[in-house]
């Protein structure tokens, strides 16, 4: 009965598109298959392992159902054999330490962890609508109202992390998970780290190639500004269907990042272009704060839906506005951009 209750869509995982570019380096999984029924030796609770949701550097993520309550979790399962070296185990312990202290509406909830002789088990909030990477794979590009809807939630979760003096360091579509109610959750804290003063920041290069900032590539260390840069890459990708610095050659991608060289197509409207350009400023000090981002005209002047239908995961939404609302946005567009761009601006906000 408990196993049957574990149904639903897979959550987590990564887009298969250009894996070498989109994902950090991964190792093959050589460990034996995880048992179907798993017992927590610390509490005696029994769980039923379901289908695979995703794979990472050390771990696989599975659906896992509490056989007493039928509550479904996303379980990150790490074989002890994959973290046998002290620095590998330290990395997992650090991830657990950072994630278990977090509690925010737009951060994947950490519930529990335990170990047995074979594995480490981390029980996380189950997000049935999968990730933003899956949505973009199905949709190719998103509308501006959708991008505002998702970005507001990302900014909210990221602001909470930064207030806790935690850097995510791997913001990308595959690490934004969507629950049954189409709410976005920041997840995967495998590369997260505490914010350090500039002089004490580690100079290691970590993250996903297409989203790395110039200062990280130049080994100047991660700061809040590096997460802002990645957020700019995320916004660009949502609107245009590809990361701003993506090329067929990793060295060329890094060269473009170091030079902050990318294109902003004419199909993008002025507010979106301006916000992306500000977040992708080569100098970290020139990038906006999270508060400045949310106060940008891209958010203030455009329509943002209160909620999205689950159909938005695979089809373009049809936003129906009342006549007074339509008139307001038409006037706002005319005042901001003039008659020439008014129709194009409004078309991206409502149908």
List, edge to edge, every strand of the sheet that includes 37-39.
Answer: 37-39, 46-55, 60-66, 72-79, 119-125, 110-115
Nearest to 113 by CA among 161, 64, 68, 158: 64
Per DSSP, the residues of 60-111 read: EEEEEEETTT--EEEEEEEEGGGG-SHHHHHHHHHHHHHHHT---TTBPPEE
Looking at the domain covering 4-125, what would its CATH class be? Answer: alpha beta
Predicted confidence at residue 34, as pLDDT, reads 87
C-alpha–C-alpha distance, residues 291 and 288, integer Å: 8
Query: How would DSSP label each residue in 319-335?
Result: ----HHHHHHHHHHHHH
Among this protein's residues, is 291 annotated catalytic?
Answer: no
> What pLDDT, on the 0 to 100 scale, is given for residue 154?
99
Among 40, 93, 116, 170, which one carries the catalytic annotation? 170
At the fourth CATH level, the homologous superfamily of domain 132-300 is: Transferase(Phosphotransferase) domain 1 (1.10.510.10)
Compute, in degrees rounded to 10, the torsion defined by CA atoms 207, 208, 214, 218: 50
Q: What is the pLDDT of residue 127?
A: 98
User: How far apart (Å, rounded) are the C-alpha atoms in residues 208 and 24?
Assistant: 5
Model pTM score: 0.82
Amino acid 329: pLDDT = 57
Binding residues for ATP: 85
Per-residue pLDDT of the chain (351 residues; tens, 9 = 90+): 434 333 333 333 344 344 434 444 334 444 467 899 999 999 999 999 999 999 877 899 999 999 999 999 999 999 999 999 999 999 999 999 999 999 999 999 999 999 999 999 999 999 999 999 999 999 999 999 999 999 999 999 999 999 999 999 999 999 999 999 999 999 999 999 998 776 556 667 788 899 999 999 999 888 999 999 999 999 999 999 999 999 999 999 999 999 999 999 999 999 999 999 999 999 999 999 999 999 999 999 999 999 999 999 999 998 875 545 555 655 655 565 554 444 444 444 444
- Supply the pLDDT for residue 4: 38
H helix intervals, the chain:
19-22, 86-100, 132-139, 144-163, 214-217, 224-240, 250-259, 270-279, 290-294, 297-300, 323-347
Q: Which residues are annotated as a binding site?
A: 85
Cα 272 → chain centroid: 19
Structure tokens at 97: 């330490």
Q: Do residues 43 and 56 touch, judged by C-beta distance below 8 A?
A: no
**What is the SS3 assignment for 114?**
strand
């Amino acid at each position: 009965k408990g196993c049957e209750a574990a149904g639903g869509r897979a959550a987590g995982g990564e887009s298969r598109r250009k894996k070498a570019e989109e994902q950090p380096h991964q190792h093959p999984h050589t460990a034996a298959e995880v048992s179907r029924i798993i017992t927590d030796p610390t509490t005696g609770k029994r769980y039923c392992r379901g289908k695979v949701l995703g794979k990472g550097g050390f771990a696989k993520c599975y659906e896992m159902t509490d056989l007493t309550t039928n509550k479904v979790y996303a379980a990150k399962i790490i074989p002890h054999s994959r973290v046998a070296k002290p620095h590998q185990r330290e990395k997992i312990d650090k991830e657990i330490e950072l994630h278990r202290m977090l509690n925010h509406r737009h951060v994947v909830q950490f519930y529990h962890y335990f170990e047995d002789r074979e594995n480490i088990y981390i029980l996380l909030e189950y997000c049935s609508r999968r990730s933003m990477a899956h949505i973009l794979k199905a949709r190719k590009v998103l509308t501006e109202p959708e991008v505002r809807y998702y970005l507001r939630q990302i900014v909210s979760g990221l602001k909470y992390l930064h207030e806790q003096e935690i850097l995510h360091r791997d913001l990308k579509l595959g690490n934004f998970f969507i629950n049954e109610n189409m709410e976005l959750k920041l997840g995967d804290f495998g590369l997260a780290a505490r914010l350090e003063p500039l002089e004490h920041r580690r100079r290691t290069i970590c993250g996903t190639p297409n989203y790395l900032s110039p200062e990280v590539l130049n080994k100047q260390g991660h700061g809040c500004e590096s997460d802002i840069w990645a957020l700019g890459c995320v916004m660009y990708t949502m609107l245009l269907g590809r990361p701003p610095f993506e090329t067929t050659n990793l060295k060329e991608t890094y060269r473009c990042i170091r030079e902050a060289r990318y294109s902003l197509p004419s199909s993008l409207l002025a507010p979106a272009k301006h916000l992306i350009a500000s977040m992708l400023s080569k100098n970290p000090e020139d990038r906006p704060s999270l508060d400045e981002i949310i106060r940008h005209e891209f958010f203030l002047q455009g329509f943002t839906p209160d909620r999205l239908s689950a159909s938005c995961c695979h089809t373009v939404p049809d936003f129906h506005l009342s006549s007074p609302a339509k008139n307001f946005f038409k006037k706002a567009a005319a005042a901001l951009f003039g008659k020439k761009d008014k129709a194009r601006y409004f078309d991206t906000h409502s149908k």
